[in-house]
Chains A and B, each alone.
Chain A
Amino acid sequence: MNTARGKKRRAEVTRRLRIAGLERGARGLAVLAGILSVAPVAAHHSFSAEYDSERAVQLTGKVTDMRWSNPHAWIFIDVAQPDGTVVNWALEMGGANGLIRRGWRREDLPPGTVLKVDGWQARNGSATANISTVTFTDGRTLFAGTSNAATPRQ
């Protein structure tokens, strides 16, 4: 990835995190609920230590599983490679509790769903990424469109 693009992408991630008000715990706005990285909200370890700022990734694939765990939830997607093989990527997000408090349940992301994600690959080179955005093929943002006014905010 060239440096200019990397900087732009990092700036975008920064902007989205800031918009999401993650540090202030200000969530619940439906339109922003899709900013799933929520990593800062639930982190128990340094993301900067685990992920590589030089390895931005954009992936498209089918959901094979989702682990509703804490402090981090994980989505697994199969990503087709140019040579026809498939790599299963593990995508790390904020904790499941934040999603649950916004009204989301494990049934809301069935296997087979196609997603596009942006994120950063792990320093150890494994098919693991910390993701900042999750988008459906029709452009909707994952978990967006559900207003949880009735759900107490975290």
Chain B
Amino acid sequence: MLFRCAIVSIFLVAAACSDTLPRTADGKPDLQGIWQAQNRAAEDLEALATIPYQPWALEQKRANFASRATADPLVRCYMPGVPRIMYLELPFQIFQAREHIAMTFEWSQVYRLIYMSGAPQLYPGIGSWMGHSRGRWEGDVLVVEVTDHNPGTWLDAAGNFHSERLRLVERYRMLDADTIDYEITFEDAKVFAEPWTIRMTLQRREDLARLNEYQCQAEVEEASGAFEPDLHTWYPAAPPPDNAPFDAAAGGELPTLTTPAEIPRLPDGTPDLNGYYQSDAGGANYGLEAHAENFLTPASRGVVIDPPDGRLPYQAWARTERLDRELPHRGYDDPTAHCFVAGIPRSHYIPSPAHIVQTEDYVVVLFERMAWRQIALDGRAHPPDDERFWMGSSVGRWDGDTLVVEARNFNGKAWLNEVGDVITHAETVVETFTPVGTDRVIYRATVSDPIAYTRPWTIEIPLDRRPDELLEVACHEDNNDLQHLKDVRDEYRARQEEEG
């Protein structure tokens, strides 16, 4: 059967195979899973088709090719754009919800959110690295139009390129359970003499249970020494010998939350968390404990609900480190100043919105500041202990109307906020997402970290659903602050050296 389908696909008639396709509850082909292109497109797209450049653009392409070792945006870890992200030699995962399709990519936490409802785009004409995707089903074919491209991306490593006038039409046609026929039509009147089309297959990566992390810029800066290891927090740092014992049983009695019956629900009765959310974070990104405004550091209302005094139960060394991190010369050490991902729980209270895509098997959170987390609901085990990630591993389950998540396997590189509240690789987090109204979810995170704390502690932050759309944050691509922060640090170090 597979052989017959493959032959049929050559003639672009997939219908013969359609009876074998996996389908979602609403009858659409089920594209969900981990996929990867297996071809040379990332290296040189012209391995698949000759690109009909206008004469000036052909000259530009040749110049790009000649300088590709330094001019390729990917060399600087800039977002690859669409379609290049689709055929990079790294896997990606597709999630299908009712009104949105999410694609999460192993490459640097990049994602695509494809709007499927047919509603008009809220912010047309805002160029972005990953473009704007709106899709529809034509029979069994998923058709996606991608517009609003940033002219800064290339189509491959050979210097093939486009302008801001690029418009893509993608067609995803499932040939069998493990193969997607993927077609892209390129239109760009500024660069190309005529529209042109390429076609490739995407293969299911059945060998992969989950995506890993390839954090391009973080790896570059760690290798160069621009981002320095923290020997207190990074895996596998040991606890200091004089640490107080960790009282794992302390606390844990939290006010009860109630979910009304009439909240939005999926057909099976599960709370429907899908949508765009803004956290009411109360300044948690500038301190989890309550504090007043201090120069340009805004006030925090304090989001710690356990211990009841709102104070983080620090180990002595970690409190000292926290106070040191607040000094100006440590501002450079905050990973988010480098535009690295924020980790958990910080990603939920950095002051940027997020979009939740919920399927039967996953809750996927797409953070506007270009990072994703996927919470597996299939009862799977966490990865082996020596596999560590910026965003950790998240496994969830529904307990009544509350989504309960356990997150662990962190690498200990994140900070909890800009003032440097401390978290280490020993962190495990039990989170709850409880709808308390039609458009309000209460997020709680109980953090246990025996290296930095003497007992577990819990924060609470409301998340508000709004009728809005994500806009891309190209943090690393537009990071003008890091050099200033580095100057402050370097000046401090030079002064220390002078003073002996």
A interface, CB within 8 angstroms of B: 10, 14, 17, 22-25, 39-51, 53, 67, 69-72, 74, 90, 92, 95, 97, 100-101, 105, 120, 122-124, 126, 128, 130, 152-154
Q: Are A50 and B488 closer than 8 Å at their CB atoms?
A: yes
Q: How far is the CB of B93 from chain A (nearest CB, A)?
A: 25
Q: Report which of A45, A123, A130, A154 forms a contact with B468, defined as CB distance below 8 A.
A: A154
Q: Are A46 and B334 closer than 8 Å at their CB atoms?
A: yes
Q: Are B298 and A17 closer than 8 Å at their CB atoms?
A: yes
17 CB < 8 A contacts A-B:
A17-B293, A40-B283, A42-B352, A44-B336, A44-B475, A49-B328, A49-B485, A53-B295, A53-B296, A69-B478, A70-B471, A72-B480, A95-B352, A97-B352, A100-B123, A100-B471, A124-B487
Specify the chain B residue showing the minimal Cβ separation from A39.
Answer: B296
Q: Cβ of A95: which chain B residues have Cβ within 8 Å of it? A: 352, 473
B interface, CB within 8 angstroms of A: 122-123, 125-126, 278, 280, 282-283, 285-286, 293-299, 301, 326-332, 334, 336-337, 339, 350-353, 368-369, 418-419, 466-468, 471-475, 477-478, 480-482, 484-485, 487-488, 491
Q: Are A14 and B293 closer than 8 Å at their CB atoms?
A: yes
Q: Are B484 and A123 closer than 8 Å at their CB atoms?
A: yes
Bound-complex Cα distance A154 to B336 (A): 21
Between A43, A47, A122, A128, the greatest number of chain B beta carbons within 10 A of the residue's beta carbon is seen for: A43
Bound-complex Cα distance A10 to B351 (A): 23
Q: Are A50 and B351 closer than 8 Å at their CB atoms?
A: no
Q: Report which of A17, A41, A47, A123 forms a contact with B487, defined as CB distance below 8 A.
A: A123
Q: Cβ of A67: which chain B residues have Cβ within 8 Å of it? A: 478, 480
Q: Are A124 and B484 closer than 8 Å at their CB atoms?
A: yes
Q: Given that A49-B328, A50-B484 are known contacts, is A97 also in contact with B298, CB under 8 Å in the complex?
A: no
Bound-complex Cα distance A56 to B65 (A): 47
Q: How far is the CB of A38 from chain B (nearest CB, A)?
A: 9
Q: Are B369 and A22 closer than 8 Å at their CB atoms?
A: no
Specify the chain A residue showing the minimal Cβ separation from B491.
Answer: A124
Q: Are A44 and B369 closer than 8 Å at their CB atoms?
A: yes
Q: Cβ of A45: which chain B residues have Cβ within 8 Å of it? A: 331, 334, 336-337, 418, 481-482, 485
Q: Are A126 and B296 closer than 8 Å at their CB atoms?
A: no
Q: Are B468 and A46 closer than 8 Å at their CB atoms?
A: no
Q: How far is the CB of B335 from chain A (nearest CB, A)?
A: 10
Bound-complex Cα distance A100 to B327 (A): 33
Bound-complex Cα distance A130 to B473 (A): 19
Bound-complex Cα distance A90 to B472 (A): 23
Q: Report which of B327, B336, B466, B481 forms a contact with A50, defined as CB distance below 8 A.
A: B481
Between B332, B472, B474, B480, the greatest number of chain A beta carbons within 10 A of the residue's beta carbon is seen for: B480
Q: Are A71 and B466 closer than 8 Å at their CB atoms?
A: no
Bound-complex Cα distance A88 to B403 (A): 52
Q: Cβ of A100: which chain B residues have Cβ within 8 Å of it? A: 123, 126, 471
Specify the chain A residue showing the minimal Cβ separation from B292.
Answer: A14
Specify the chain A residue showing the minimal Cβ separation from B296.
Answer: A47
